[in-house]
């Protein structure tokens, strides 16, 4: 998931987009159906007097008529089973699946009041857990009512908060942001009957089943809290639905597109056909479905893009013309492919550390290089097989990933395993100093790692097996199960060994634990390719620059520069780094002329022949300074090139598999 805010790299403008419970994972319980009941039912002892939703659902009534003003009003009614006076503890979701961190926007929960029989109840927030409320309930209470609101200021680190997704013509309702539930309760055991009132004449889409309109309010059948939170609702006044169900597929698939203007809805038939191909390719790859139907929920409104995964839908924000503009086609196709693949890799099969029983338990992100990294790899593969992006675009993107990792000075101290474990702090980290700190690099290093696994698997099995077989075997059965089937690292290694016996543990540990200051690309090399640098622009970088409005010179002088000339990041061991530049300094001039990105690019080209250092005027904390950058290698952009004599596995991997 996360960032319209600053993701660190240009190519990672896509994703901004689920611990172990009380100790060790329960190896007895990783079977499909019994996971939550057996694993967690025995170790939890819910407070005796807590509202029990199994007998009677919690009613969650949402007034979203003011969503365009970035505010929602909520009334929630809890049946109470105890006749004596007691204290009820309610909690607000903190750890949000897909966000991989404690991102529940508790600071934006406002106007909280509790009543019983018309009388206000004094409540207190827990002094340690900001997400937990203690409510004294008098004897004889049968219904506890909570009234509250959610306000949506722009919230860095949570791109799905209403302040980030609402406009006058569209909005995105994430139920985890507008629900309280009994503390110390397994989320699957809490039943919620939700209703929502939308602005007049707005359309909506959601994976929630059986909506019914009663008196201008939408009502949904009672569902487990996990299903509710896993089923966002998107709404707006400018909307179009596209049926992208391939022939012969029984599960219906839709793109529900909400836009700022009718122009944003004019998706070409060719583009829709390519998304239909994506559904076909995903079906061929996984040979299963873990949803009754699937909705791509898409808001076309932002400057960059982001997505959040769910079992039966996605939740995506893309630029206003993101579904219609050719310059954004590859990125949008890749994003939608990524979020859909998560239905198998992330929602159905989930690392045990991310399969928590409620929304308060901390999540452990150690296997995010599978959850996100393998998803990113398959997004590249399936988007290309489907025709949503070309093989050349895919290869440029892989070259960019490798170049970014080559420049990642932070790889010398922080390995991929630590990147995965520290996801919860990296998603919200500043873009400044990312090259040294590292970011959520499994989105870039992951595709390279999994290309290596795919290539080695093909080699070890003499071309008989591939990651395609692994996809069907590990993420497929049982077909039709809409549930969570957790796995461990050992499960993963064992599954790879079933495809072809090999030291998979050794290969993975080499990638996870290595600190690599040197430039190596085992993934690309295993597939028959390597990275070369030329003065020909990398198309994936060009597309990313046009979206981010940043200038990426990280592979030449070593700078990433914002639209106004402010240095966002730099490669420490580059000409710019050695000259003493630093993030947050603003470039004011280039060779005695006022700074512009084009002028700087031209000066870099000129310096290749005139051998003069670049004279950069900088403004830092109120001080001007002249900085001389001694760099004469011109503009350099990464591309893939074939390794002579090695089989071209990458091109083979990208071949479509669907039968037309």
Residues lying near Zn ion in the complex (CB under 5 A) = 17, 372
Residue 493: closest CA among 520, 516, 517, 512: 512
Q: For residues 34 and 524, what is the distance between their CA atoms, to the nearest angstrom?
A: 41
| Minimum separation from the CB atom of position 47 to Zn ion (A) | 35
Q: Specify whether the CB–CB gap between 116 and 137 falls below 8 A.
A: yes
Main-chain dihedrals φ then ψ at residue 341, nearest 5 degrees: -60, -30
Please state the three-class secondary structure of 371-387 as a single string: HCHHHHHHHHHHHHHHC
Distances (CA, A) of 570 to 425, 519, 560, 585: 21, 18, 6, 11
Question: Measured from the CB atom, is 15 or 529 closer to Zn ion?
Answer: 15
Question: Measured from the CB atom, is 374 or 507 closer to Zn ion?
Answer: 374
Question: Measured from the CB atom, is 341 or 394 closer to Zn ion?
Answer: 341
| Minimum separation from the CB atom of position 372 to Zn ion (A) | 5
| Minimum separation from the CB atom of position 46 to Zn ion (A) | 32
* DSSP β-ladder status, 485-487 and 349-351: parallel
| Minimum separation from the CB atom of position 371 to Zn ion (A) | 7
| Minimum separation from the CB atom of position 408 to Zn ion (A) | 20
| Minimum separation from the CB atom of position 443 to Zn ion (A) | 8
Question: Measured from the CB atom, is 132 or 444 closer to Zn ion?
Answer: 444
3-state secondary structure of 625: strand
Q: Specify whether the CB–CB gap between 90 and 114 falls below 8 A.
A: no
Q: What is the DSSP string of 176-195?
A: GGG--EETT--GGG-EEEEE
| Minimum separation from the CB atom of position 563 to Zn ion (A) | 27
Main-chain dihedrals φ then ψ at residue 509, nearest 5 degrees: -65, -35
Q: Which residue is listed with tokens 């939703």?
A: 53
Q: Specify whether the CB–CB gap between 535 and 543 falls below 8 A.
A: no
Q: Specify whether the CB–CB gap between 315 and 307 falls below 8 A.
A: yes
Question: Measured from the CB atom, is 49 or 429 closer to Zn ion?
Answer: 429
Question: Measured from the CB atom, is 121 or 416 closer to Zn ion?
Answer: 416
Q: Specify whether the CB–CB gap between 139 and 21 falls below 8 A.
A: no
Question: Measured from the CB atom, is 172 or 309 closer to Zn ion?
Answer: 309
| Minimum separation from the CB atom of position 103 to Zn ion (A) | 14
Start-to-end C-alpha separation, the chain:
32
| Minimum separation from the CB atom of position 1 to Zn ion (A) | 6
Q: What is the DSSP string of 202-247?
A: -EEEES-S--EEETTEEE---EEHHHHHT--EEEESSEEEEE-PPT
Residue 436: closest CA among 574, 597, 278, 538: 574
Please state the three-class secondary structure of 382-442 as a single string: HHHHHCCCCHHHHHHHHHHHHHHHHHCHHHHCCCHHHHHHCHHHHCCCCCCCHHHHCCCCH
Question: Measured from the CB atom, is 3 or 565 closer to Zn ion?
Answer: 3
What's the DSSP call for residue 47?
A: -
Q: Which residue is listed with tokens 């506890």?
A: 144
Q: For residues 344 and 296, what is the distance between their CA atoms, to the nearest angstrom?
A: 15
| Minimum separation from the CB atom of position 61 to Zn ion (A) | 32
Question: Measured from the CB atom, is 36 or 342 closer to Zn ion?
Answer: 342
Distances (CA, A) of 463 to 467, 647, 653: 11, 11, 11
| Minimum separation from the CB atom of position 65 to Zn ion (A) | 32
Alpha helical stretches, state H, 478-527: 489-499, 504-513, 522-526
| Minimum separation from the CB atom of position 375 to Zn ion (A) | 5
| Minimum separation from the CB atom of position 14 to Zn ion (A) | 8
CA angle in degrees (0–180, nearest 5) for 57-171-212: 40
| Minimum separation from the CB atom of position 357 to Zn ion (A) | 22
Main-chain dihedrals φ then ψ at residue 350, nearest 5 degrees: -135, 135
Question: Measured from the CB atom, is 338 or 385 closer to Zn ion?
Answer: 338
Question: Measured from the CB atom, is 58 or 285 closer to Zn ion?
Answer: 285
Question: Measured from the CB atom, is 354 or 496 closer to Zn ion?
Answer: 354
Question: Measured from the CB atom, is 338 or 414 closer to Zn ion?
Answer: 338
| Minimum separation from the CB atom of position 379 to Zn ion (A) | 8
Question: Which two three-digit tokens encode residue 177?
Answer: 């942001």
Q: For residues 313 and 301, what is the distance between their CA atoms, to the nearest angstrom?
A: 19
Q: Specify whether the CB–CB gap between 295 and 205 falls below 8 A.
A: yes
Question: Measured from the CB atom, is 281 or 372 closer to Zn ion?
Answer: 372
3-state secondary structure of 467: helix
Question: Measured from the CB atom, is 275 or 369 closer to Zn ion?
Answer: 369
| Minimum separation from the CB atom of position 164 to Zn ion (A) | 17
Question: Measured from the CB atom, is 1 or 228 closer to Zn ion?
Answer: 1
């Amino acid at each position: 998931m996360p960032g319209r805010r600053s993701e660190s790299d240009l190519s990672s403008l896509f994703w901004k987009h689920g611990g172990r419970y009380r100790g060790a994972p329960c190896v007895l319980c990783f079977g499909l159906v019994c996971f939550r009941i057996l694993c967690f039912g025995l170790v939890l002892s819910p407070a005796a007097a807590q509202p029990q939703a199994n007998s009677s659902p919690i009613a969650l009534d949402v007034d979203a008529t003011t969503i365009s003003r970035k505010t929602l009003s909520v009334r929630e009614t809890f049946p109470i089973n105890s006749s004596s006076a007691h204290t009820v503890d309610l909690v607000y979701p903190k750890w949000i699946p897909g966000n991989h961190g404690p991102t529940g926007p508790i600071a934006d929960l406002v106007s909280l009041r509790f009543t019983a029989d018309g009388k206000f109840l004094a409540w207190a927030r827990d002094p340690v857990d900001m997400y937990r409320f203690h409510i004294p309930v008098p004897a004889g209470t049968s219904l506890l009512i909570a009234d509250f609101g959610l306000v949506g200021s722009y919230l860095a680190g949570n791109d799905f908060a209403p302040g980030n997704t609402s406009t006058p013509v569209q909005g995105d309702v994430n139920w985890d942001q507008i629900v309280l539930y009994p503390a110390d309760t397994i989320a699957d055991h809490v039943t919620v009957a939700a209703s929502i009132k939308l602005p007049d004449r707005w359309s909506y889409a959601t994976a929630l089943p059986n909506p019914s309109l009663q008196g201008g309010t939408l009502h949904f059948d009672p569902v487990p809290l996990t299903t509710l939170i896993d089923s966002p609702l998107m709404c707006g006044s400018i909307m179009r639905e596209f049926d992208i169900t391939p022939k012969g597929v029984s599960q219906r698939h839709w793109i529900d597109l909400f836009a700022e203007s009718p122009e944003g809805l004019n998706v070409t038939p060719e583009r829709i056909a390519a998304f239909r191909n994506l559904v076909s390719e995903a079906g061929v790859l996984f040979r299963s479905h873990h949803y009754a139907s699937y909705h791509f929920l898409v808001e076309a409104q932002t400057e960059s893009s982001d997505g959040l995964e769910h079992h039966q839908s996605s939740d995506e924000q893309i630029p206003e013309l993101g579904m219609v503009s050719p310059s954004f086609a590859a990125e949008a196709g890749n994003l939608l492919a990524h979020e859909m693949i998560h239905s198998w890799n992330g929602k159905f099969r989930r690392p045990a550390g991310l399969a928590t029983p409620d929304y308060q338990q901390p999540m452990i992100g150690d296997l995010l290089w599978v959850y996100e990294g393998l998803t990113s790899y398959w997004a590249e593969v399936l988007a290309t097989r489907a025709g949503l992006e070309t093989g050349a675009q895919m290869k440029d993107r892989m070259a960019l990933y490798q170049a970014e990792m080559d420049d990642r000075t932070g790889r010398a101290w922080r390995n991929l395993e630590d990147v995965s474990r520290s996801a919860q702090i990296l998603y919200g980290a500043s873009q400044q100093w990312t090259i040294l700190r590292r970011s959520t690099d499994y989105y870039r290093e992951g595709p390279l790692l999994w290309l290596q696994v795919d290539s080695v698997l093909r080699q070890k099995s003499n071309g008989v097996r591939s990651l395609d077989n692994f996809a069907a075997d590990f993420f497929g059965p049982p077909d039709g199960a809409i549930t969570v089937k957790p796995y461990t690292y050992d499960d993963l290694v064992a599954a790879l060994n079933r495809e072809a016996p090999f030291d998979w543990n050794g290969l993975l540990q080499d990638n996870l634990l290595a600190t690599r200051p040197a430039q190596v690309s085992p993934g690309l090399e295993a597939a028959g390719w390597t990275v070369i640098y030329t003065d020909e622009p990398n198309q994936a970088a060009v597309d990313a620059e046009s979206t981010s409005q940043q200038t990426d010179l990280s592979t030449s002088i070593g700078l990433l520069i914002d639209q106004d000339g402010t240095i966002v990041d730099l490669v420490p061991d580059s000409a710019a780094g050695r000259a003493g530049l630093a993030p947050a300094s603003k470039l004011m001039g280039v060779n005695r002329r006022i700074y512009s990105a084009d002028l700087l690019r031209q000066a870099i080209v000129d310096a290749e022949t005139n051998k003069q250092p670049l004279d950069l005027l900088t403004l830092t904390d109120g001080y001007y300074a002249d900085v001389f950058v001694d760099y004469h290698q011109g503009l350099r952009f990464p591309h893939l090139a074939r390794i002579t004599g090695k089989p071209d596995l990458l091109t083979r991997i990208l071949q479509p598999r669907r039968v037309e």
